[in-house]
């Protein structure tokens, strides 16, 4: 049995979501919230196994991380179903000291995993930005998520929402652990401007999905109002998934000041994003809810000042250096953009220092290991 003082617990990270077409050998590279997270834990001293659903059965060693995949039967998500007997059987064979299960969307698998584990082994659930469920999913979340020993959330405020809605019990142990970080680093500004063609005074950057969950319309409305005080500003929107693109382009085309000031960039390879963050003067994010806000983390990593919605995840990530506005409030968003746009250039090295102290992968691993140690100790005492 692992004691609470053991600095090298055997952690099994379980991923139940299936990405169609993702081969086992690609999984850790393509899903950094699992791959880079697990390698950071290994670097910090844990023994780490990733157990995941994938397109085929496999067992691989990726650096210090052991990866075991179980064929996912071509079902992208199965939040209300019992996981396969094979997956549960492999989990028991691994003899973990702690199980870290990704997501609050799997109440039935959560119960199945808890039942399969020895009593001494704690189960922690990691929040990935999902809201509390409705209907049958919500009922099962209220009944079965309470079987976990605790939850990992970017900010305690996120867990508070789940507790207030009754989806998590008030006694649940809450551990503040970022779900991700980044390895992006700033590049020289002159080179970044040349590579991206970013312009504007200030040059404002948006990175994210053009999706209702990111509320890009509020961003555009806020930017439009801010143009009255910042006539030379320009907004550059970088995105991949874009279900709202046609509507957003229609919104912009009907407003002459926005036509000249908004640039729909489209997809940028992830490795090239450091150029965009480094070339911009200001980062804008308008999401009404986030798990961690990976794009905001990347902006901090590159020393880019941010204007962000005042939600728990953004407060945790950006901290005091950022300017905040209420979600959906374009008027206050415009005021925050103007205030930040007129401000003298902040010391980018201070934002980089903020990232290293609070947001880097080494910090993520340290926070997670502290949560694991507390959970193991509490199980040992119960």
pLDDT for residue 292:
92
pLDDT reported for residue 2: 42
- The region that residue 185 occupies, defined by phi over 0 for left and psi between -120 and 50 for alpha, beta otherwise, is beta
Please say if the pLDDT value at position 53 is more than 70. Answer: yes
347-364, pLDDT tens digit by residue?
788 899 999 999 999 999
Mean pLDDT of the chain: 92
The residue to which tokens 């965009």 are assigned: 276
Interatomic CA distance for residues 20 and 10, integer angstroms: 29
The sign of the dihedral angle between the CA atoms of 356, 357, 360, 363 is: positive
pLDDT in tens, 246-267: 999 999 999 999 999 999 999 9
CB 286 within 8 A of CB 327: yes
Tokens 């996912």 identify what position?
72
What gap in Å lies between CA 341 and CA 351, rounded to an integer?
16
Q: What would the two tokens of residue 106 be?
A: 């799997």
Residue 362 near residue 40, CB atoms below 8 Å: yes
Per-residue pLDDT tens digits for 3-25: 444 558 999 999 988 777 888 99
> How many CA atoms lie less than 13 Å away from 43 in the CB half-sphere?
12
pTM: 0.92
Average pLDDT over residues 326-352: 89
Phi, psi of 235 (to 5 degrees): -110, 125
d(C-alpha 358, C-alpha 33), whole Å: 17
Mean pLDDT along residues 198-206: 97
Of the candidates 118, 85, 117, 119, the one whose C-alpha atom is nearest the C-alpha of residue 101 is 117
Nearest-angstrom CA–CA distance, 63 and 378: 31
pLDDT digits (tens, 9 = 90+) for 98-146: 999 999 998 988 999 999 999 999 999 999 999 999 999 999 999 999 9
Q: Tell me the C-alpha distance between 341 and 128, whole Å.
A: 32
Contact 52, 65 (CB under 8 A): no
Q: Work out the end-to-end distance of the chain between its first and last CA atoms, rounded to an integer number of angstroms.
A: 14
Write down all domains in the chain, each with its CATH number in brackets: 10-181+361-381 (3.40.50.2000), 189-358 (3.40.50.2000)
Torsion angle defined by CA atoms of residues 56, 37, 216 and 312, in that order, rounded to the nearest 10 degrees: 130
Q: Is the pLDDT of residue 291 over 60?
A: yes
């Amino acid at each position: 049995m692992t004691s609470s003082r053991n600095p090298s617990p055997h952690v099994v990270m379980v991923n139940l979501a299936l990405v169609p077409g993702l081969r086992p050998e690609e999984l850790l590279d393509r899903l950094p919230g699992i791959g880079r997270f697990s390698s950071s834990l290994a670097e910090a001293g844990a023994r780490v196994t990733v157990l995941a659903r994938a397109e085929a059965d496999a067992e691989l060693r990726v650096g210090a991380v052991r990866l075991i995949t179980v064929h996912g039967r071509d079902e992208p998500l199965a939040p209300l179903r019992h996981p396969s007997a094979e997956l549960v059987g492999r989990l028991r064979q691994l003899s973990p000291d702690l199980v870290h299960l990704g997501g609050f969307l799997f109440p039935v698998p959560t119960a199945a995993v808890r039942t399969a584990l020895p009593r001494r082994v704690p189960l922690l659930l990691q929040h990935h930005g999902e809201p509390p469920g409705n209907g049958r999913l919500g009922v099962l979340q209220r009944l079965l998520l309470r079987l976990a020993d605790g939850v990992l959330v970017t900010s305690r405020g996120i867990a508070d929402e789940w507790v207030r809605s009754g989806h998590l019990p008030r006694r649940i142990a809450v551990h503040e652990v970022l779900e991700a970080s980044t390895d992006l680093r700033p590049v020289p500004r002159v080179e970044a401007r040349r590579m991206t063609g970013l312009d504007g005074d200030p040059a404002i950057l948006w990175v994210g999905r053009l999706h209702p969950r990111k509320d890009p319309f509020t961003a555009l409305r806020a930017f439009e109002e801010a143009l009255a005080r910042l006539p030379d500003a320009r907004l550059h929107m970088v995105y991949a998934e874009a279900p709202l693109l046609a509507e957003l382009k229609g919104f912009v085309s009907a407003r002459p000041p926005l036509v000249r000031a908004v640039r729909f960039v489209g997809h940028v390879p992830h490795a090239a994003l450091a150029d965009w963050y480094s070339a911009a003067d200001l980062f804008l994010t308008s999401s009404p809810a986030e798990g961690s806000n990976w794009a905001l983390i990347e902006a901090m990593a590159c020393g880019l000042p941010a204007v962000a919605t005042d939600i728990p995840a953004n407060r945790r990530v950006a901290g005091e250096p950022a300017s905040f506005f209420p979600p959906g409030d374009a008027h206050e968003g415009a005021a925050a953009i103007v205030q930040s746009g007129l401000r003298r250039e902040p010391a980018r090295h201070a934002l980089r220092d903020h990232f290293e102290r609070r947001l880097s992968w080494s910090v993520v691993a340290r926070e997670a290991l502290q949560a694991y140690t507390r959970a193991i100790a509490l199980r040992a005492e119960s």
